[in-house]
Amino acid sequence: MTSHVAIVTGGSRGIGAAISERLRDDGVTVIANYGGNDERAKAFTAETGIDAMKWDVADYDACQAGVKAVEEKHGPVTILVNNAGITRDGTLLKMDREMWEDVINVNLGGCFNMSKAVFPGMKARSFGRIVSIGSINGQGGQYGQVNYAAAKSGIHGFTKALAQEGARFGVTVNALAPGYIDTDMVAAVPEPVLEKIVAKIPVGRLGQAREIANGVAFLCGEDAGFITGSTLSINGGQHMY
């Protein structure tokens, strides 16, 4: 993997940070994209040695410019991990149009924007790995998350369609659907609610970010060349289908 260059969106914290570090450990040159927290990104780079670059994945032109800047500095991008995501939770009755659009534009629109920026180069070089992070809530739905569930469900359809376009050019496109992972986002869930969530997970615990990162690393590797259009569910058995 030492000849590869990867962009991990939302790659400086949480699951994204674990993915960035795992790919780095595999010898990949990793660029961790981030959207807002400059201090956290600087600290992440200082801790890991991974270059962090800022742009908004919901902005099409910013993604084009970001990928161009990465390639000028590090070389052609061969791996893209679409991990960036936000939540704006609320029931449909309480959700306004801005809450809907913010989540759709980042979580699903970001996949389009970033894939659009790297896909032509991958196709021309006859190699590429695109892995997008979906969610158990995009598979089974979740109360109060019609925006998030719709965006994550869209990722799974996006993956299957783009996989068909990339297959004959050596570009694999897969998704990974995490269950509830022990990150800052989940830590913000009230304890009584979290206890009920864990009670529904057959393995009896939350997942770890490194477990998601291990799945991503596999899908990005040489051994996964015959896997495309698939969704790998890592959820402790909480959702099976």
pLDDT on residue 78? 97
119-131: pLDDT as tens digits = 999 999 999 999 9
Asked if the structure places residue 236 within a domain, the reply is no
Asked if the structure places residue 81 within a domain, the reply is yes
Asked if the structure places residue 233 within a domain, the reply is no
Asked if the structure places residue 71 within a domain, the reply is yes
Name the strand (E) or helix (H) holding 79: strand 79-82
pLDDT on residue 2? 64
pLDDT on residue 189? 79
Which CATH number do you get for residue 158? 3.40.50.720
pLDDT on residue 40? 93
pTM for this entry? 0.93
Mean pLDDT is lowest, of 147-161, 173-187, 209-223, for: 173-187
Domain count within the chain:
1
pLDDT on residue 114? 98
Is residue 147 scored above 80 in pLDDT? yes
pLDDT on residue 144? 83
pLDDT on residue 3? 87
pLDDT on residue 191? 85
pLDDT band at 142 (very low <50, low <70, confident <90, very high): confident
* Contact between residue 133 and residue 174 where contact means Cβ atoms under 8 Å apart: no
The boundaries of the domain holding residue 195 are: 5-228
Question: SS3 of 169, please?
Answer: helix
Just list the catalytic residues. Answer: 148
Q: What is the mean pLDDT of residues 134-157?
A: 89
Describe the strand order of the beta sheet including 231-234 as a list of residue ranges.
51-54, 29-34, 5-8, 79-82, 128-133, 171-178, 231-234
Asked if the structure places residue 238 within a domain, the reply is no
Asked if the structure places residue 237 within a domain, the reply is no
Asked if the structure places residue 203 within a domain, the reply is yes
Asked if the structure places residue 11 within a domain, the reply is yes
The amino acid at 204: G
pLDDT band at 1 (very low <50, low <70, confident <90, very high): low
